[in-house]
Amino acid sequence: MPTQIEGIEDRIRARIAELVGPQRYKVWFKNSTQFAYSDGFLKVGVPNLFIGGWIEDHFADVIAQAASDVLQQDQPFSIKYAIDPVLFRNMRKSQLNSQAAFIEKNAERAIREVRGRNGKNGSAAPKRKLRGRLDDFVVGAANRLAYSVAQSVVENVDAEPSPVFFHSACGLGKTHLLHGIANALSVQKPKTRWIYVSGEEFTNQFLYALRERRLDGFRHRYRDVDVLLLDDMQFIANKKATQEEFLHTFNTVNGNGKHVILASDAHPKMIGDLSESLVNRLVAGMIVRIERPDKEIRCEILRRQAAKTQHKVPEPVIDYIADKIHANVRELEGCLLKLLAYASLTKAEITLDLARQALEDHLTQTGKILTVSDIEQSVATFFGLTPADLHTSRKSRTIALARNIAMYLARKHTDLSFPEIARLMGNKNHTTVLLACRRIGKYLEEDAEVTWQNIAGPQSRKIQSLIESQEEQLRVGATAASSATT
């Protein structure tokens, strides 16, 4: 059986390489994923939430197609993503550098794919079926307002619109809601013209249209719609030309009395490189924060996931997992998948003792509510970067300042040692963290003013004010997470 399973996983990898090409396979799959197939489940192990989120958002369809091609079975199978501690420890700096460079510079290949999908005239592509549905969204106190707003958009698509901006930490349901709105419109209001796009896709398509002098087709595609849904808004934060184009698109769609629905990892005012004109328009609409799920929501998510897999999971086990995992829904579902795969491989009954045994390794990797990942995401978003940028060896003024602040906050607000923080932030040397903390500490003592660069030009701010604003942002998230466990 192990030989057979390994063969399946190797064939899935080979098929993915065929579908995405050697460059993207090397950057995102070769050393960044670990596949495990068992009893109708395909687990995709990833080294951290950032890479896992990127792979799920951009390659989920590819993985599903590859698995389907290899398995060739009529019975449905589930694909889940989970943090793999071994991959996390083995992640090399060179790999992180290549991933950051891929995000920043390798738009050319994606642009060619867009050209192939949409045709030379840039006309709108047929509506695609997205994964998330509103009926599958588990509603509770933490996300009830966001869910109600999403439903209202569908039910009142012909009413006077107001821009909607969903924001939350990673893995809390923003993309699910945008997918759900689009799918519900297709079913309930089939004549409604909608388009869903990520910030990266919008940027790539704009760059292609600009280079090929086909802006008319691009603008027709995005402006002649009833509902525009843009995910990962933070991606365009440090791209001046893309922001200007999106601002005009926003003004046109909104001015025509149509709906603009956006999602991002942070409040518009906390996205550091977002233009003032765009921020002003966003805050004039409805801004909805999705909080971390409370225990009741987490339990219900686990029950529904267990029901989908047709496995009977005892309530004490559900309660145990929900009590231990509260960071985000992806991690929650990943733990359940790991438990089910472990039970299947060991042919053991699912019990509380088995859950403790199967998840012990993962839970030892789970720190306090405030994690280095939370800190990295908050700081990177403010400076218009990605967490991968902080992990690279690049030393531009903006990246160096953001990296130093993230290391300082990680040391101050977690129990991790200098070496542990260094490993989490790109397998760096512990002296890098030590020097970063000393440098920020000295700036604070001197009440220094720090400078950095964004799309609006050079920026400056008192380090004390900058640190306090980041701590306030982190405090809001930590308070929500703490209340979820009580």
CATH number at residue 347: 1.10.8.60
Residues 201-220 have a mean pLDDT of 90
Please check whether residues 18 and 82 belong to one and the same domain.
Answer: yes
Is residue 344 scored above 70 in pLDDT?
yes
Residues 201-208 have a mean pLDDT of 91
pLDDT greater at residue 36 or residue 108: 36
CATH number at residue 87: 3.30.300.180
Tens digit of each residue's pLDDT (9 = 90 or more) over 4-21: 445 788 889 999 999 888
pLDDT of the residue at 212: 85
Please check whether residues 385 and 355 belong to one and the same domain.
Answer: no
pLDDT greater at residue 125 or residue 317: 317
Please check whether residues 383 and 339 belong to one and the same domain.
Answer: no
pLDDT band at 119 (very low <50, low <70, confident <90, very high): very low
Is residue 217 scored above 60 in pLDDT?
yes
Please check whether residues 386 and 462 belong to one and the same domain.
Answer: yes
Is residue 280 scored above 60 in pLDDT?
yes
Rounded to two decimals, the pTM is 0.58
pLDDT of the residue at 89: 64
Lowest-confidence range among 224-238, 273-287, 366-380? 366-380
Please check whether residues 328 and 466 belong to one and the same domain.
Answer: no
CATH number at residue 139: 3.40.50.300
Please check whether residues 240 and 271 belong to one and the same domain.
Answer: yes
Please check whether residues 354 and 383 belong to one and the same domain.
Answer: no
pLDDT of the residue at 176: 93
Domain endpoint, select from 241, 263, 289? 289
Residue 188 lies in a domain: yes
Please check whether residues 416 and 477 belong to one and the same domain.
Answer: yes
pLDDT band at 117 (very low <50, low <70, confident <90, very high): very low
pLDDT of the residue at 408: 94
Please check whether residues 55 and 148 belong to one and the same domain.
Answer: no
Domain endpoint, select from 289, 323, 350? 289
Domain endpoint, select from 361, 384, 411? 361
Residue 294 lies in a domain: no
Residue 285 lies in a domain: yes
For a pLDDT cut of 90, what percent of the chain falls above it?
31
pLDDT band at 328 (very low <50, low <70, confident <90, very high): confident
pLDDT of the residue at 221: 92
pLDDT of the residue at 481: 45
pLDDT of the residue at 20: 87
Residue 103 lies in a domain: no
For a pLDDT cut of 70, what percent of the chain falls above it?
84
Please check whether residues 222 and 312 belong to one and the same domain.
Answer: no
Is residue 218 scored above 90 in pLDDT?
yes
Residue 100 lies in a domain: no
Average pLDDT of the residues of the chain: 82
Is residue 380 scored above 80 in pLDDT?
yes
pLDDT of the residue at 238: 73
Residue 404 lies in a domain: yes
Please check whether residues 411 and 323 belong to one and the same domain.
Answer: no
pLDDT of the residue at 122: 41
Residues 176-197 have a mean pLDDT of 94
pLDDT of the residue at 428: 79
Residue 106 lies in a domain: no
pLDDT of the residue at 476: 61
SS (H, E, C) the chain: CHHHHHHHHHHHHHHHHHHHCHHHHHHHHHCCCEEEEECCEEEEEECCHHHHHHHHHHHHHHHHHHHHHHHCCCCCCEEEEEECHHHHHHCCHHHHHHHHHHHHHCHHHHHHHHHHHHCCCCCCCCCCCCCCCHHHCCCCCCCHHHHHHHHHHHHCCCCCCCCEEEECCCCCCHHHHHHHHHHHHHHHCCCCCEEEEEHHHHHHHHHHHHHCCCHHHHHHHHHCCCEEEEECHHHHCCCHHHHHHHHHHHHHHHHCCCEEEEEECCCHHHCCCCCHHHHHHHHCCEEEECCCCCHHHHHHHHHHHHHHCCCCCCHHHHHHHHHHCCCCHHHHHHHHHHHHHHHHHHCCCCCHHHHHHHHHHHHHHCCCCCCHHHHHHHHHHHCCCCHHHHHCCCCCHHHHHHHHHHHHHHHHHCCCCHHHHHHHCCCCCHHHHHHHHHHHHHHHHCCCEEEEEECCEEEEEEHHHHHHHHHHHHHHHHHHHHHHCC
Please check whether residues 174 and 268 belong to one and the same domain.
Answer: yes
Residues 444-465 have a mean pLDDT of 85
In terms of residue numbers, what domain contains 410?
372-484
CATH number at residue 480: 1.10.1750.10
Residue 182 lies in a domain: yes
Is residue 94 scored above 50 in pLDDT?
no
Number of domains in the chain: 4
